[in-house]
Structure 1
Amino acid sequence: MPLTSEQLTKIKHYTEHLLAADTSGHDMAHINRVVNLAKYIQYREGGDLDIILASAYLHDLIDDKIFPNPELAKYDLQQFLMEIKIESEQQELIFRIIEQMSFSHQLDHAPKLSLEAKIVQDADRLDAIGAIGVARTFYYGGHKGHIMHQPDIAPRQNLTKDDYRKGSSVINHFYEKLFKIKTTMQTQTGVELAEERTNFMDQFVNEFLREWDFNELE
């Protein structure tokens, strides 16, 4: 049975409530951009739109970067979905998607994804790159107290999940994650959008490093 517009509205409001105080760049503006990207990708690629939209709205609500107790967050979300009468099969599909979203989660293993999961994952990762991605990267780096740039610290290679969560400089994050995102796209639409956004980031980082090292008097 398709989700009703009332159920989707309640899902959106539930997310708005939980992310209202977010200062890490995982706020409702991010969620809305992911939803819009997911709608566009689904329009071109197909898939169950209801499951895609519900998952896009909920994808950050069990993320341990945002919620210190993700198991409790998952339990609360399960209770909420039961309260608004989301069928158990639909709940299973939603959780299967949002539990596979994290970039760091896939550093250690890459699960097989449904079309709906591919679309939501692409939408979320697209919002991490491009102009918005640049802004969110510096915003999150400031939120976590990461240094902006330290030339003598090289970007890390072959990161595990634990390594990734230790953080690095903001500029290193472009090399450790953001420039690699285009190779993780799961849909052709995602590939096309990621190429454009990655080109923008490449130009930005090159200009950043040129200005960082600026010394025309030498």
Structure 2
Amino acid sequence: MTDETVLAAVRQFSQSKMGNDETGHGFDHIQRVVGLADRIGQSYPDADRLETLTAAYLHDVIDEKLVADTAAASEEVRQFLVGQGFTTTQIDTIFLIMDNMSYHKTLDGTAKPLPLEGQIVQDADRLDAIGAIGISRAIYFGGHFGEKIYDPAVKPRTEMTHAEYRNLNNETIINHFYEKLLTLKDLMNTTAAKQLAEHRQQVMLDFLAEYKAEWNAEA
């Protein structure tokens, strides 16, 4: 099979798993991450495109915040990849990326170093969490889980543990920008992603300034 044939199958598998998501991690998000990863990857010809885009398509299929049984989900993905002819080495690389690219891994210090392919996917995923799309996804995610939009008396949390990060009872949607989203620009791995992140960062800063001005009836 050609790489494009394999990627078409991977795309279909991902869509079957993420197509009904209602948290902001649906297949539209997957497609944007894949597109960004492909765009960033053009600047890094040494990166394996098949491994990069496969990890981009599948990165949320085994995410702990979206899947009740991550072990079962991981085994299903592994068997799918075997069926598509991926080698053991390729599968190990794809899982290394998926298992270590999430933001929460940076909080507990358990993340393993990512290969170039993983750095590209991580950057693409983080880019989709910021900017105009990131604003809408943050509000959509928070609304899905019943988060309060904003409360000036509730200050953004700092130095969170993994457990604290997952505790949405102690978070507001606006605070999420300060606790995570505004930090992502400086966590980008690749030069290409860093350049894209600059504009998206400013979009968020402008939004927050306008939001607070309107909240205080100043605008």
TM range (shorter): over 0.9
Note if contact 1:45-1:189 (Cα within 8 Å) is conserved in structure 2. no
Q: Secondary structure at the match of 2:100?
A: coil
Among 189, 192, 203, the residue aligned to 2:192: 189
Match of 2:119 in 1: 118
Paired with 1:71 and 1:3, the residues of 2 have a C-alpha distance of 29
Match of 1:16 in 2: 15
Question: How much has 1:3 moved relative to structure 2?
Answer: 5.7
Kindly indicate whether residue 144 of structure 2 is the aligned counterpart of residue 138 of structure 1.
no
Q: Secondary structure at the match of 1:77?
A: helix
Q: List gaps (5 residues or longer) in structure 1.
A: none
Note if contact 2:149-2:173 (Cα within 8 Å) is conserved in structure 1. yes
Paired with 1:44 and 1:4, the residues of 2 have a C-alpha distance of 19
Question: How much has 1:215 moved relative to structure 2?
Answer: 5.7
Paired with 2:127 and 2:197, the residues of 1 have a C-alpha distance of 6
Match of 1:204 in 2: 207
With structure 1 as the length reference, what TM-score do the two structures score?
Answer: 0.95
Question: How much has 1:111 moved relative to structure 2?
Answer: 2.6
Kindly indicate whether residue 73 of structure 2 is the aligned counterpart of residue 73 of structure 1.
yes
State, as a whole percentage, how many aligned pairs show the same letter. Answer: 40
Paired with 2:137 and 2:70, the residues of 1 have a C-alpha distance of 22
Q: Give the ranges of 4+ consecutive aligned residues of structure 1 lying more than 6 Å apart after TM superposition.
A: none
Q: Secondary structure at the match of 2:42?
A: helix
Q: How does 1:10-159 map to 2 (within 5 A)?
A: 10-46=9-45, 47-109=47-109, 110-159=111-160
Q: Secondary structure at the match of 1:153?
A: coil
Note if contact 2:130-2:200 (Cα within 8 Å) is conserved in structure 1. yes
Paired with 1:103 and 1:183, the residues of 2 have a C-alpha distance of 13
Aligned pair count reads 215
Note if contact 1:61-1:73 (Cα within 8 Å) is conserved in structure 2. yes
Note if contact 2:101-2:114 (Cα within 8 Å) is conserved in structure 1. no
Q: List gaps (5 residues or longer) in structure 2.
A: none
